[in-house]
Amino acid sequence: MSNEETFRHISAEEFSRLDFSTVISSLEELVDSAKAHGVRIVACQMSMDIMGIHQEEQIDGVELGGVSTFLGSGEESDMSLFI
C-alpha cells in the first residue's frame, strides 16, 4: 500500500473544520498531566519579555528561566525540549 493510498491530503479549510475537542486534551489538562508525571515546565524569560508576557499571566507552576537555567537542567535531566 502506497502513501497515497494510506493518507488523504486535506486542505487548510477542511482541517480548520475538524473538531478535535473529543480527542485532544485541553492545555490545562496537558499541563496538569505533565506536572503529575514530574515534568518541570520552564518559560523563557527573554521570550516572555519580547512578547510582552508578564509572570502573572503564566499558568500556575510554570517556572521562569533563561539560557543558563536551560543548560543547567539539560546536564541533569534525561530529556530536554526547547520550543
> For the chain, what is the domain count?
1
Q: Which three cell numbers stand for residue 40?
A: 518541570
Pairing of strands 63-65, 42-44: parallel
The answer to whether the beta carbons of residues 40 and 73 sit under 8 Å apart is yes
Return the amino acid letter for 18: L
Provide the residue range defining the domain that includes 33. Answer: 25-83
Residue 72 lies in a domain: yes
Residue 17 lies in a domain: no
Helix (H) or strand (E) holding 44: strand 42-44
Q: Which three cell numbers stand for residue 10?
A: 486535506
Residue 45 lies in a domain: yes
One pLDDT digit (tens) per residue for the chain, 83 residues = 454 555 567 787 877 787 777 778 888 888 889 889 988 888 889 999 999 999 888 888 888 998 888 878 777 777 666 66
